Amino acid sequence: MVGSTPSGFRGLTEERIYSDAGAFAPGIRQNLPVLMRLFRRRGEQARHFFFAPNPRTAMAARWAARVCRLPAVHTLCSLPASGVPIGPGLFADQNVVVSPWAQRRLADEGFDSVVIEPAVLPLQSTKEGREQCRERFGDYVLFAGDLRPGGGVQAVVETMSHLSDGLSLVIACRTKTDADRARKDALEQQLSVSGGRPVHVLGQIDWIGDLVSAAKAQFLPATDLTGKMDWPLVLLEGFAAGVPAVVAQASPIAELDSPVLGYAPVDDPKALAAELERVIGLDPAQSRALYEQRFTPKRLAEGYRQVYQHLGIG
């Protein structure tokens, strides 16, 4: 335990438990202090958990609740793979999901939940940074996703040949594991022999705000979001910057009823290309308006305020 400090938000204290930076998959040494903290009460009225449901963590939370009983809210940031039961990973008084798709999955197993759509802060971006992106990549479509099977990158590559001339493709992905690095190498090899329009493959960068904001559109036709947010946050950040998006018809976010989000079957590159052409022609103000209506922190806070009030918290 490193200590507790004001967070900068009224009524919220930041309590640091990890003594060093976490990895993409924290181990027992990092998670044990979190578990021990659950057995001690420090003046909080309730506990709110944000993580993907899994039986081991749920069991630990149940044990802790027997010793230190407090109302609990669990936001299911992502869901297990299709066919894997969700129930064993549930434990809280109130389950919160981020999409109607997730709510239906819980309902199919007999569990109630509340939908609170995610929120994002606008990405940091500068005029100079955006101009540098356009000078380097031209007019481009951005894939800021995952290279694993079902992540959508192959559909992106196949769709690009059906787009109007003058558009390039930028692929931005973090290589978290050896398998990711192997996929990135294989993709670059595939692109090197395929020819066609320019494709730029980037690793982890610290100017993602400029890269997203300068894109003509985002293209994320992922069909497997296991371990990922139902509604990818980078797409919402793009809306805040005035950038529309196209996704796979099978994606949970395809249910978003807005013209600034296009969708088509992932195996139909011509239809996906047509949707990209359509959203690229939209006024950026439409994407920004969608962000202001649906994905601001203020709207998120109001949703959770209602959840807390229902549980008698506050």
Give the model confidence (pLDDT) of 35-91 as tens digits. 667 667 677 788 888 888 988 888 888 877 777 788 889 999 999 888 899 999 999
> CA–CA separation, 90 vs 55, rounded Å?
8
Is 39-119+296-310 CATH 3.30.413.10? no
Q: What is the pLDDT of residue 255?
A: 93
261 — alpha (psi -120 to 50), left (phi > 0) or beta? beta
- Angle at Cα 294 formed by Cα 160 and Cα 77, nearest 5°? 75
What is 127-294's CATH number, 3.40.50.2000, 3.40.630.10, 3.40.50.620, 3.40.47.10?
A: 3.40.50.2000
Same fold, 39-119+296-310 and 127-294: yes
Which segments in the chain show pLDDT lower than 50?
1-3, 22
Specify whether the CB–CB gap between 248 and 254 falls below 8 A: yes
Domain residue spans in the chain? 39-119+296-310, 127-294
Q: What is the pLDDT of residue 69?
A: 83
- Angle at Cα 157 formed by Cα 228 and Cα 225, nearest 5°? 10
Other C-beta atoms closer than 10 Å to the C-beta of 70 total: 14
Q: What is the pLDDT of residue 2?
A: 39
pTM equals 0.87
Q: What is the pLDDT of residue 27?
A: 58
